[in-house]
Structure formats: C-alpha cells, structure tokens
Structure 1
Amino acid sequence: MLATIGLSAVAMTTIVGLRYLLASGAFAWATKYKRPGLYRGLSSQIKREIGWSLFSAAIYGIPAGIIAWGWQQYGWTRIYEDWAAYPLWYLPLSVLLYLFAHDTWFYWTHRWMHIPRWFRLAHAVHHASRPPTAWAAMSFHPIEALTGAIVIPFLVLLIPIHVSMLGLVLTIMTVMGITNHMGWEIFPRWLVHSHLGHWLITASHHQRHHERYQCNYGLYFRFWDHLCGTDRGLSEP
C-alpha cells in the first residue's frame, strides 16, 4: 500500500512540475514575443524562480497524490464522474464554489504572510522576484507552498465536483497564477477597466501588490480586498 501511495505522489509531483514548466514556459515565450526585452537581465532571478517552483511542485504533488490514490481505491472524495449525478446547473456552480473558497483561503493566508515575522520567514521568497515574471507563479518557500497545497485536496473531501470541472478549476488556477505575475496585462483593456474587471484580478491588479506589498491580496476575485479595504486599484502599464 505504501508503495502504491508513493507512486501516486511521485506521479502527481511529476504532473504538477510538468504543468508548471509547460504553462509558465508558454507564457514566458509569449512575453518574449509580445514584450521583447521585458525580462532582460533577469536570468538569475528566473533560475531561482524555477528552482523554488519545482520544489513547490513536490509539496503540491504529495497531498494531491495521496488524495488521488484514496479517491481511486476507497472513494474518499466527493469527486464524481457520472454527469447525471447532479443537475447540470451545478457544474458551473461547483467551479464558482471552489474558486471562491480557494480565493478566501488565499486572501487570509496571504495577509497573514505579510505579518513581518512570517514575511521574513517565508513570503520574502516570493517577493524576491522584482519584478515577477511568468516563472514566479509557484516560487514559494515550503511553508507558503504548504498553505496552498492543502486547499484543493481539502475541498474535494467536502464539496462535490465533476472530474471535468475539477480539471477546469486547476486550469484556471494555473493560468491566473501565471498571468497575474507576467509583468504585463494579457487581458484586453475593455475587460480590465469594466464593471466585471472591478471584481476580477488580473496582472494589473496583482502587480500593484508587488509594488506596494500591503494591498491587493486576492487570487481570483477582488471581493475580499473591496470588503476589507485593501484594494488599491491597478498598477500603471
């Protein structure tokens, strides 16, 4: 049994690591094409970002592998595969529930990471990226990586979700984590400055966090930043 769990953890670590390299690599290539020279002189920083990120991949992959093994062997989770198990309207609702729950956890743990003691101990690793690049999305100290790694494994034990919708959640998590750190705005101006954009986090919003630190803590939505008075708007282009 332990060997099987170990193989599952190794497999998930490999998947998370490859997903990071492929996705961040693709957006880094897009940056080189769309914003030539933006990452000039950052090669040493990018190497550090990749190193910390691959270490984080193991921290994310181990609990994910254990949960995946438990789902397949004992049905531990609320992940389901039968499209008829829940009404079709629940499919998008489950995605929103996961994103909002993850965003809530991220907002409050992120604010906690900015308490000076914890910032020096852990979160300073992420903020060492000045400016952040497409490779920085998973550049975390192990303590911070652990706070992020437990979220989805915990949620799948509580909230029903179709396996395809879980894949969508993980895709959104990956894409937004990378695009928020690219250093330039990939989304169109009309969306970023629209009523909808007032509630969504993009690179323009998260870049302000890396500039001022004590603001703009959210991951997907600006709900908690607006509610708690920590939203400081958008960074300049």
Structure 2
Amino acid sequence: MSCRNTSELHILGSSDQLVLQPLWDQLRARDALTQSPLFAVLFSISTYVGFCLPFVVLDVLCPWVPALRRYKIHPDFSPTARQMLPCLGQTLYQHAVFVLPLTLLSWACGPAPWPREAPELLQLARHVLGCLLLFDAEFFAWHVLHHKVPWLYRTFHKMHHRNSASFALATQYMSAWELFSLGFFDAVNVTLLQCHPLTVLVFHVLNIWLSVEDHSGYDFPWSTHRLVPFGWYGGVTHHDLHHSQFNCNFAPYFTHWDRILGTLRSK
C-alpha cells in the first residue's frame, strides 16, 4: 500500500472517530457522575423505567382510546396497577439488593480509567451488533434449557411467565438467578469483544430498549421487527407467541437459532 493510501486511511479513521468524540468528551467531563459507584445502577434503572413509561401511558389510555387497540397484540387486555406495581417493585428490589452491592464491590476493586479517545463509529456499530448476536445465542441456549428441564423452569424461570400477556413493566419481572445470568452474558460479551466504554453504554441502552419493546404488547408500523428485512428479527410478535405457547421462539431477538432448530413459530 502506498504512503498516500495509508495516509488517506488514517485521515478517514480519524474523521470517523471525531463523529463520536464530542459526545465522549461530554461524558468524560461528567466524571463525578460517571465514575460514581452508583452510576451503573442509576443508568440501568433510569433507562429501563424511561423506556417503560410510554407504554405504561398507552396501557392506561388504551381502554379509553379505541384507536390504540389496533396496535395491541391482545386488544382486550390492559394491565392493572395491581399487575404493574409488583413488577416495578421487583425490579427496584433486585437492583437495590443484588445489583448495587456487586457494583460497589467492582468499584472498590478499582474502576478502569476511561480512554481519552472515542471509538470509531463503524467499530462501535460492529461491536454493538456483535454483542447483540452473542447475547442472542447465549440466552437462546439458557432459555431452551430452562424450558426443557422442569426443575429449572419451576425454580428460576416460571416467575417471568406469570403474566401470559406481556406488558412493558413485566420485562424485568424475573428471578435473581435469571437477572444474574443475563448480566453475566452482558459482562462477558463486552469483555470478549474489548468494547470501548461508550460502546458498552450504547449496547446497554439498545438491549434494554429491545427487551422492553419485545414485552410491550404493541405492534406498531415502526416496531423493530418491521424495520429489519427478511424476517431476521422476531420482535414483539415473535416473543409474544413464546409467552402464549411456551414451546417456541426461544431467542430474544433474532430468528436464526429458532429457524435452525425448528422452534420458530409465526401467526
């Protein structure tokens, strides 16, 4: 490769990196917050509740706004406060009792310093997609195992299936073991791919959004599964069938594992 081509690639890479540098600089400037031992828990809770709230509002309005029912997978179902509040309480309880102590322990061991440079945009996109694909495969295997072994299902996974018709706040209504399993997969994947801290944040935001959308019970024209071509992504309709039929659609997001192993179902 000529010196000119090498220089051009270097400039291209630098400009690609500069796209995210202002955002990364702003995050680094708030190190009092981002380096706090509470940041991970506050970030997780606020992102999750923030994504759930619009669907909670829709669930409250749906009985009074008939036009909304055309987008509901189960038009006659609207979760009550008696259903939603225990789900929210379980999420807050587990983050306070389990996630926070682990975060404090990790912080006490010495937080890793954040790099000065932002990741390149294409690198961030590749790593986020890689994390999603790895998580999808890991959770698929975990999910199948916890449905096929009765003791595992009764002890650890049954709690998540107490609501046959999903709603947003039921997304994290799960046992502590399931919460730890998903958190472990996340931590392993970002470490395995050596993701930049900004990539980790973007992945967590996207992962939380996709999981909330999958449980929301609403199938909009702009839902993720309608935007991804060729049926590669299952989305809310895919996951709703799992909750209603139990023996299909085990992958949380994509459809290739269910298609390969014969557990893919569609309406």
TM-score (norm. length: structure 1): 0.79
Q: Mark the structure with the bigger radius of gyration.
A: 2
Indicate which of 107, 129, 136 corresponds to 2:163: 129
Question: How far 1:95 sits from its partner (Å)?
Answer: 1.0
Tell me which residue corresponds to 1:153: 187
Tell me which residue corresponds to 1:27: 55
- Which amino acid in structure 2 is aligned with residue 27 of structure 1? F
Tell me which residue corresponds to 1:17: 45
- Which amino acid in structure 1 is aligned with residue 131 of structure 2? Y
Tell me which residue corresponds to 2:266: 233
Question: How far 1:21 sits from its partner (Å)?
Answer: 2.2
Please say if residues 80 and 161 of structure 1, whose CA atoms lie closer than 8 Å, have aligned partners that are also in contact: no
Residue 145 (structure 2) pairs with residue 112 (structure 1): yes
Question: How far 1:82 sits from its partner (Å)?
Answer: 2.0
Tell me which residue corresponds to 1:216: 249
CA distance in 1, matches of 2:138, 2:110: 23
Tell me which residue corresponds to 2:15: none
State the secondary structure of the residue aligned to 2:86: helix
Residue 147 (structure 2) pairs with residue 72 (structure 1): no
- Which amino acid in structure 1 is aligned with residue 132 of structure 2? L
Question: How far 1:197 sits from its partner (Å)?
Answer: 5.2
| 5+ long unaligned stretches in structure 2 | 1-35, 63-67, 70-74
**Aligned residues: percent identity?**
19
CA distance in 1, matches of 2:167, 2:204: 20
| Number of equivalences | 220
TM-score (norm. length: structure 2): 0.71
Q: Report Cα offsets for 1:114-172 as digits up to 9, x if no partner.
A: 12111111211110013111101111011111111112222232212222222221111
Deviating more after overlay: 150-159 vs 31-40: 31-40
Question: How far 1:106 sits from its partner (Å)?
Answer: 0.9
CA distance in 1, matches of 2:128, 2:141: 20
Q: Mark the CA change 1:44 to 1:33 in structure 2 (over 3 Å): closer, same or farther.
A: closer
Tell me which residue corresponds to 2:136: 103
Question: How far 1:33 sits from its partner (Å)?
Answer: 4.4
Tell me which residue corresponds to 1:168: 202
Indicate which of 51, 60, 64 corresponds to 2:89: 51
Q: Mark the CA change 1:214 to 1:68 in structure 2 (over 3 Å): closer, same or farther.
A: farther
Tell me which residue corresponds to 1:185: 219
Residue 122 (structure 2) pairs with residue 83 (structure 1): no
* Larger helix share, 1 or 2: 2
Tell me which residue corresponds to 1:200: 233
Please say if residues 179 and 186 of structure 1, whose CA atoms lie closer than 8 Å, have aligned partners that are also in contact: no
Q: What is the aligned-residue RMSD (CA, Å)? A: 2.8
State the secondary structure of the residue aligned to 1:83: coil
